[in-house]
Structure 1
Amino acid sequence: MLVILALASVIAPIVMALVELVKRSITTKKNYIPLIAFAMGIFIGIVSFPFTELEVTLRLWAGGIAGLASTGLFEITNYRDGLTKGGK
């Protein structure tokens, strides 16, 4: 489990940067951003085989965790003014 989280912490900033690149290059709905991040995380987890000796299923888990964590990581660094639920 510790190795999965370590790999996810390495993959998460990469996924965050790639998702930001996708958001700036193509027009997409904001609701699909976490799904795109999840898919990119899984893809990067699969192609990380030269850097780790983990099995494919463990790399998939690490990629999925990294994809979902990258969305949260971006939301933490994103400054927003105002309240939720239509509050001004």
Structure 2
Amino acid sequence: MKLYFINEYLGDIHNTGVEGMWVYAEITPSKNIDKFNDFFAALVDEENDFEEANFSEEWVDDNNWFVIDDENRKKGICIPAVYPDGVIAWRWR
């Protein structure tokens, strides 16, 4: 699978597993993901509240996030949690 934000390719997703409503995997990021590093760091920071107002409205809109599966089908996801260790988690929309 491949992760996208609008039309921007952010990385390859592999080693996918499911736990309840959550999908967990590993991501091999593209260089395009760099501009989202602070956004993802804030999103996964469990010790502080995530402040949507600190980020672009487009970034916090679930409709802008999706994956392309191995059959080249576009599937909508909620904003993914991308961790510094290369783990990614999301829920399907």
Q: What TM-score, normalized by structure 1, do the two folds share?
A: 0.27
Q: What TM-score, normalized by structure 2, do the two folds share?
A: 0.26
- The structure having more radius of gyration, on CA atoms, is 1
Question: Relative contact order (C-alpha < 8 Å, sep 6+): which is higher?
Answer: 1
- Give the structure with the larger helix fraction: 1
- Give the structure with the larger strand fraction: 2
